[in-house]
Every structure is written in C-alpha cells, then in structure tokens.
Structure 1
C-alpha cells in the first residue's frame, strides 16, 4: 500500500481508570483514499482505537500523528485534529442534541468560528450528501432511526474531515437503509473523504472495504480485505467467521470455475453474475 498515511498511532497504549490495559504498543495507520474496515471481537479495543484516532482519548504512551506531525492536545491542536478526523458513534442519540436537523449539523462549523455564509454552505452541502435536505427543519426527536443516523453523519461531514470514522454505521438499519447509507459513503469516498468503518459484519467488510484491520490479542493486523478475511487463523483470534464470499471463492476455484488470479465475488449480485456467465449457453456460429 503506497498511499500516504494521513493519521497514525505509534506505540500507543491505553487503559481506563482501574481497568486492564486495552491497547498496548499499538501501531496503526489510516491511509489516504483507502476504505478501511476495522474488525474484532467485543472488548478487543475497537471503540478505544477510534476514540484515540479522533482525539476523544489521549494515549497513555506513544503518540498520535497527522501527516507525520504529533498531535498537541491543547485547544489549537485538537481543533486541527477535528478538522481532519471526525468520529460518528454507533448510537445517533449520543450525538444529536439540537432542536432541528439543520441546527445540529451546523454545530461543528459554528464552533470553528466560521462566517455565517460558510456555515450555511457547509450545512447545505452535508445535508445534500446525506440525502436529508428535506429534513433540514425537522425536529430531531421526530426522526426515524435511519434519519437520525444520517443526521449524525451529516454533522461530521459538515466539518469537511479528510477522515470519517464510523462505529457500526449500518447497525439497526433495514436492508434498504443499509444500501442507501453505503451508496452515500461511496459518494463521500468519491469526493475525497477517507472512510474507516468499525463493523462485526465480515460480509459487509469484504464487499465494501479496500483494506481490513483485524484487532487480535497480538495487535492490529492490516492488509487487503480479501487477503485478511481469508486468514482463518487471524479470524479465529479476532472472534470472526469466514465471509461467505471468501468461502464461495474457494469453492469456485476448487471446481475450476474461477481462475486463481480472478477476484472472487464480494456480493450476491457478483456471485449471480458469475453463475450466469458459466451457465449461459454459447451462441452457435453461423453456417
């Protein structure tokens, strides 16, 4: 992976007060332009890692860097960090507090001291990106769960971060809501935002991510998603199962239906397309 490192932890350790060490000597990179899935069992430190990357927690040892420069934890340093990295937590109700959608989304830009016109432009842009412009004046307490999720993400997007970190963003959404959210994330990625997603869903990770980071007792191991999620030894350490797409790929190759160099299916639609390609009878030649 040759993409530049935007945000990194170097030798980072953290323990909560009166609790065991959660992370110890951790090295972790977020590379520009790569969609990264963060996976691990409950208690593996995913939430702690995300809060360290976004400045919500400070490592007890080691350091956090942005483009190679150590983060200072004073007001100026944290403001710089939060215009680079934004975290959206799993439960949107932990993040929403203003009376209306537009007011909530405007909170971050207002705190930066931006001119009113710039704040309005950022709010309009974020609402459009999350497809909730029509909800701008809606009271937040009247929103559906999916709408609250989108509003929370819009509040982060309004800060125009280079890195957007999402904790289980598809949890609690119905299939249509998940698809709409993933399409939104694809749009954000296309516009230059690097997205990190913590998830327990290995099938989603395989389909969506470029890279996967597995949190195991021996540390965080990162690599191309299809390679990492085919490592049954690492999956076992991380408390995860083999994605169905990897299992299907192995089966197809074992039966000579997929070349060893060809990418395997990442979604049911891709598997169906492969099946169609192998079952469609050839068109007879003229004559």
Structure 2
C-alpha cells in the first residue's frame, strides 16, 4: 500500500490502572483514503485502540504519530490531534449533550475559537453531509436512535477531521438506516475523509472496507479486506466467522463460475449478478469487482 500514513501507533502498550495489559507492542497504521474495518472479539482492545488513536487515552509505552510526527499531550498537541482525528462512540447518548441538534454540532468548532461565520458554515456543512439539515432546531431528546447517531457523527464531521473513527456505527440501525449511513460515509470519503469503522459484522466489513485489521492475541494483522477476511486462521484467532461472501466466492470458484475468489460478491445483489451469467462462464469470469 503506497498511500501516506496519517495516524499510527508505534510499539504502543496500554494498561488500565490495576488491570492487565490490554495492548502490548502494537503497531497500527491508518492510511489516507483507505476505508479500514477494525475487527476483533470483545475484550480484544478495539475500544482502547480507538481511544489511543483519538487522544482519549495516552499510551503506557510507545508513541502515537500524526503524519509522522509524535503527538504531544499538551493543549496544543491535543488540539492538533483532534482536528485530524475524531472518534464517534457507539452509543450516541454518550456523546450528545446540547439542547438542540445545531447546538450540539457547533460545540467542537466553537471550542476551536473559530469565528461565528466559520462555525455556522461548518455546522451547515456537517448537517448537510449527514442529511439532517431539517433537524437543526430539533431538541436532541426528541430524536430517533438513527437521528441521534447521525447527529453524533455530524458533530465529529464539523471538526473537518482527516480521519473519522466510528465505533459500531450501524449497531441498532434497521436495514434502511444502515444503507443510508453507508451512503453518507461514501459521501464523506468522496470529500476526502478517511474512515475507520470498528465492527463485529464481518459481512459489512467485506462489503464496505478496502482494508481489514484483525485484532488477535498476537497483535493486529492488516491487509486488503477480501484477503484478510478469507484467512480462517486469523478469523479464528480474532473470534470471528467466515463472511458469507467469502464462502460463496470459494464455492463459485470451485464450480468454475468465478476465476478469482478474491473478486467475489460482497452483497446479495452482486451474488445474483454473478450467478445469472451464461452457463460455463467460469473460464472468463472475473468476479463481481473489476
């Protein structure tokens, strides 16, 4: 991968007070423009890793770097970090606190000391990006769960981070809500935001991510999503199952329908398109992804 590294943990260890080590000697990189899925069993350290990346926690050992420079944990250093990296936690109620949607989204930019004009522009931009402009004056306690999720993400987007980290963003959403959120994330990526998503959903990771990072007892293993999510040894170590798309691709490959299982279907629609091809198309089939 040749994309530049935006944020990295180098040899990082972390131990909570009076507890065992959660992470030891961890190396982890977020590369610009790559949609990265972070996966692992409960207790593997995903939440700790995300908080280390966003500055919510400070490493016990090793260092956090932004564009190659070590982060300093003083006011200036943390402000620089938080204008580069934003974390949205799983439960939006842990993040929302203002009376209205617009007030909540404006909180971060106001704390940067920006002018009123700039704050208004950022809030309008973030609300539009999350498709919640009509909710600007809505009291946050009257929002649906999906609307609260979008408002929490909008608050992070208003900071204009280069890296947006989302902890289980589709959890609790119905299928339509999930599709709308994925479309929103696609729009953010088109605008230049690098997105990291922690998830337990291997099928979603296969469909959405360019790269997958699997947290195992021996550390983080990162690579192209299709290849990583086909590694049954790493999946087992991370407490994860094989994605159905990988299983389907392997079956189609054995039957001669798909030339390269790494280019297999990632959605039911792509599976239908592959299997609807002419009989005997395996010799020339390249799969669902060019």
Matched, 1:246 2:246: yes
Superposed displacement of residue 262, structure 1:
6.7
CA distance in 1, matches of 2:172, 2:279: 37
Superposed displacement of residue 277, structure 1:
1.8
Partner of 1:106: 106
* 5+ residue gaps, structure 2: 282-290
CA distance in 2, matches of 1:104, 1:260: 48
2:4, 2:32 within 8 Å by CA — same for their partners in 1?
yes
Q: Deviations over 1:240-285 (max 9, x none)?
A: 000000000000000000112771001111001112223699xxxx
Partner of 1:285: none
Write out aligned runs for 1:147-162 (5 A): 147-162=147-162
CA distance in 1, matches of 2:78, 2:15: 21
Superposed displacement of residue 12, structure 1:
0.3
* 5+ residue gaps, structure 1: 282-287
Partner of 1:229: 229
CA distance in 2, matches of 1:129, 1:145: 18
CA distance in 2, matches of 1:243, 1:78: 38
Matched, 1:79 2:79: yes
Secondary structure of the residue aligned to 2:276 is: helix
Superposed displacement of residue 135, structure 1:
0.2
CA distance in 2, matches of 1:209, 1:261: 17
Q: Deviations over 1:87-126 (max 9, x none)?
A: 0000000000000000000000000000000000000000
Matched, 1:51 2:51: yes
2:246, 2:261 within 8 Å by CA — same for their partners in 1?
no
CA distance in 2, matches of 1:210, 1:149: 23
Secondary structure of the residue aligned to 1:154 is: helix
CA distance in 2, matches of 1:225, 1:51: 23
Aligned residues between the structures: 281
Change (3 A) 1:262 1:88: closer
CA distance in 2, matches of 1:10, 1:32: 17
CA distance in 1, matches of 2:272, 2:250: 16
2:99, 2:139 within 8 Å by CA — same for their partners in 1?
yes
Write out aligned runs for 1:1-287 (5 A): 1-260=1-260, 263-278=263-278
2:226, 2:262 within 8 Å by CA — same for their partners in 1?
no
TM-score with structure 2 setting the length: 0.95
Change (3 A) 1:98 1:224: same
2:249, 2:262 within 8 Å by CA — same for their partners in 1?
no
Superposed displacement of residue 205, structure 1:
0.1
CA distance in 2, matches of 1:272, 1:183: 21
Partner of 1:284: none
CA distance in 1, matches of 2:260, 2:79: 48
Root-mean-square deviation (Å): 1.2
